[in-house]
Structure 1
Amino acid sequence: MLRHVAGRLAGALPLLLGVCVFTFILVRVLPGDPAVYYATGPMASAEEIASVRKSLGLDRPIYAQLGSYLAGVATGDFGRSLTTGQPVSADLGQRLPASLELTAFAMGLALSLAVPLGVLAAITRGSWLDHSVRLLGTLGVSLPTFVTGVGLIFVFYFKLGWAPDPIDRIDPFVLRPPAVTGFLIVDTLLAGDMEAFASALGRLLLPGIAMASFVMAPIMRITRASMLSVLSSDFIRTARAGGFGWWTVYVRYGLGNALLPVLTTVGLVASYLIGANVVIEKVFAWPGVGAYALQALLAADYAAVQGYILLMALIFILINTTIDVLYAIVDPRIRAE
């Protein structure tokens, strides 16, 4: 298994190289000139723009810029952000835990609801519960995340006043715990600060629910479809006829054999959540890498955009490798191979 994982990660190196080259070229063909942006403004003289372009290294041939960028990436240097003045690797390292915490919370919430509902819908096929689950799934994929997020803010913050201000990860008047994991929920528990925990959890709920509502639908639908296929199998009918209990028939044998398509869907939606939480982070002023990348894109901050896309590609590869390992754990046939 370790050799398999190492082989997958080694095979991903050419993919990461391709992402670096493609992203480098892509950001330079997008509208906007960083030299004009970081000069004195649109009214800057040609001499001022040329001076800024030279200081940024944009006056060199494109192949020379690409070579310098790839040499820096090989040593872990993604360049310096023009908007923050900090190394891109430092900016991403500071903001990545916020995005991962939001994604992990949304994914955990979606799984805890979608898988049981999908199983129950398959068991009670054709019932009111089955139709309700299918309707819920249709509504989930029909509403964009920003619509759900704005709606949650409007109802629970403006109208009911139950939710805290949709700004940042914790109340500014609450002392932040020492950074251990980067996940505020975990760090506040480790510090034993329940006030900070309540503040962090309260600000995590609405964006987490908005993201979970969108990814619940595909997980519910694939769980239902996979369970329906398994429940029609001979071994399930034999288990029922043998008088096995509900847990053994539907969970141990049914869900256990229906998990492979579910795991595939989970890997896809998890990868989607990591990269597509830009909108939610902007709606809720969440200080994650998505909001950082959007700000960098608007400012034509090449280094920051390139670093963000490379980071997303690396996370996507790690998620898919993890799914492969879970395949082997769930399915003995794959483990034997």
Structure 2
Amino acid sequence: MNSGISGYVIQRLLGTIPILIGVGIVTFVLVRVLPGDPAVFYVTGPVVTQEAVQAVREALGLDQPLYLQLFHYFGQILTGDLGRSLTTGQAVTVSLMQRLPASLELSIVAMTLAIALSIPLGIIAATRLGTWSDYAIRFAATVGVSLPASVLGILLILVFYYYVGFAPDPIGRLDPFVATPQSITGFLLIDSLLAGNLEAFRSAAAQVALPALTVALVVMGPILRITRSSMVDVLTSDYIRTCRAAGFNWWTTYVRYGLRNALLPVLTTVGLIIAYLIGANVVVEKLFAWPGVGAYSIDALLASDYAPVQGYMLLMTALFVVINTMVDVLSALVDPRVRAQ
């Protein structure tokens, strides 16, 4: 990596600081204007008195002015402390780090599946422009984008689990009767292979199949459309006509030369979708009882548990900026024009 790209990466990462501060302030204010008093949830006993609620509020610091609460909150963040969940009693940083690999594994498997399906279909649609296969592929992409993830997930569960009986119970990352491998990376598929536990690997792969397919079918539409559109523009270029005139085979003409020059907008789209997916898989995680950060934040929000929600928003913002920076660097490595800019 040359000095220009290194400087660009450092500049982008430093630019995340004001973004994180802004997101922290907005999230801090929003979760506190929501209806409900979190102190009420944690008053024990047969009778809830106003004195008991006030005592809990004082213990949580909720009786202080909003600006003082915000000041203390950012002071904790600077020390790496995102607070403690009032529901579980566990540090938010620990909970997020424990659950993040589950969300990342689901997103990575889903994006791998979506890319493996959408890019070849986009190339086929572009090379057979105006034919029945082009219309069929575009129609399938439109249907995938139009169906909500909740509806699509329920349909897949009904078909593959309830009627066909092919899929396992949608109850998490691993069959409860299979021994969990030692956590090394946090990714069950990798950890089971590192431990040589093929039974756990097969169980983890079976468990992630349906939720990953649900996410993949939703996100492959935009990737397919941008691949097709970019390939259509590239196929009218002079070097593609030269490849055809020279008698190059299909792979060399459309993949080696065509796809490579059409890849830049595809990479940008994939990067945006990956960054979006990590935090947007909430519905799928809840539907398949997937123990990711999205489900964790929703449970905290329903319980008026402020710290996990704020920590989740900060984590998603940081991941979004980092992933987009990585995509920009990859685009510069792929396309010399971007590197020159």
- TM-score, shorter chain, exceeding 0.5: yes
Match in the other structure for 2:92: 88
Give 1:166 deviation, angstroms. 0.5
Pairing of 1:110-125 with structure 2 (within 5 A)? 110-125=114-129
Give 1:218 deviation, angstroms. 0.4
Match in the other structure for 1:173: 177
Pairing of 1:14-93 with structure 2 (within 5 A)? 14-40=18-44, 44-93=48-97
Normalised by the size of structure 1, how large is the TM-score? 0.97
Match in the other structure for 1:336: 340
- Read off the aligned partner of 1:197 and give its amino acid letter: F
Whether the aligned pair in 2 keeps the contact of 1:98 and 1:288 (CA below 8 Å) is yes
- Read off the aligned partner of 1:158 and give its amino acid letter: Y
Give 1:249 deviation, angstroms. 1.5
Alignment pair present for 1:220 and 2:224: yes
Give 1:42 deviation, angstroms. 11
What stretches of structure 1 of length at least 5 have no aligned partner? none
**Percent of counterpart pairs with the same letter?**
61
Equivalent residue in structure 2 for 1:255, among 259, 262, 266? 259
Give per-residue Cα distances to partners, 1:206-235, cap 9 Å, x unaligned.
000000000000000110011001111122
Whether the aligned pair in 2 keeps the contact of 1:36 and 1:42 (CA below 8 Å) is no
1-side partners of 2:217 and 2:88: how far apart? Answer: 33
Match in the other structure for 1:198: 202
Give per-residue Cα distances to partners, 1:99-143, cap 9 Å, x unaligned.
000000000000010001001100011112111110110110111
1:170 counterpart SS class: coil
2-side partners of 1:312 and 1:55: how far apart? Answer: 29
Pairing of 1:276-287 with structure 2 (within 5 A)? 276-287=280-291
Match in the other structure for 2:15: 11
Match in the other structure for 1:126: 130
Whether the aligned pair in 1 keeps the contact of 2:171 and 2:289 (CA below 8 Å) is yes
Give per-residue Cα distances to partners, 1:14-34, cap 9 Å, x unaligned.
111111111101111111210
Give per-residue Cα distances to partners, 1:161-197, cap 9 Å, x unaligned.
1111100110111111111111101111111111111
Give 1:43 deviation, angstroms. 6.1
Normalised by the size of structure 2, how large is the TM-score? 0.96
> After the TM superposition, which of the residue ranges 81-90 and 28-37 deviates more from structure 2?
28-37
Give per-residue Cα distances to partners, 1:276-315, cap 9 Å, x unaligned.
1000010000111011000000000000100001000011
Cα distance change on mapping 1:145 and 1:43 into 2, 3 Å: farther
Cα distance change on mapping 1:42 and 1:139 into 2, 3 Å: farther
Whether the aligned pair in 1 keeps the contact of 2:268 and 2:328 (CA below 8 Å) is no
Pairing of 1:272-311 with structure 2 (within 5 A)? 272-311=276-315
Give 1:244 deviation, angstroms. 2.5
1-side partners of 2:46 and 2:311: how far apart? Answer: 27
Give per-residue Cα distances to partners, 1:143-173, cap 9 Å, x unaligned.
1001111111111111121111100110111
1-side partners of 2:77 and 2:168: how far apart? Answer: 40
1-side partners of 2:45 and 2:157: how far apart? Answer: 36
What stretches of structure 2 of length at least 5 have no aligned partner? none
Match in the other structure for 1:242: 246
Equivalent residue in structure 1 for 2:110, among 89, 92, 106? 106
- Read off the aligned partner of 1:234 and give its amino acid letter: D
1:16 counterpart SS class: helix
1:39 counterpart SS class: coil
Q: In angstroms, what is the RMSD of aligned CA positions?
A: 1.3
Aligned length: 337
1:140 counterpart SS class: helix
Give 1:41 deviation, angstroms. 8.5
1-side partners of 2:188 and 2:145: how far apart? Answer: 29
1-side partners of 2:301 and 2:44: how far apart? Answer: 19
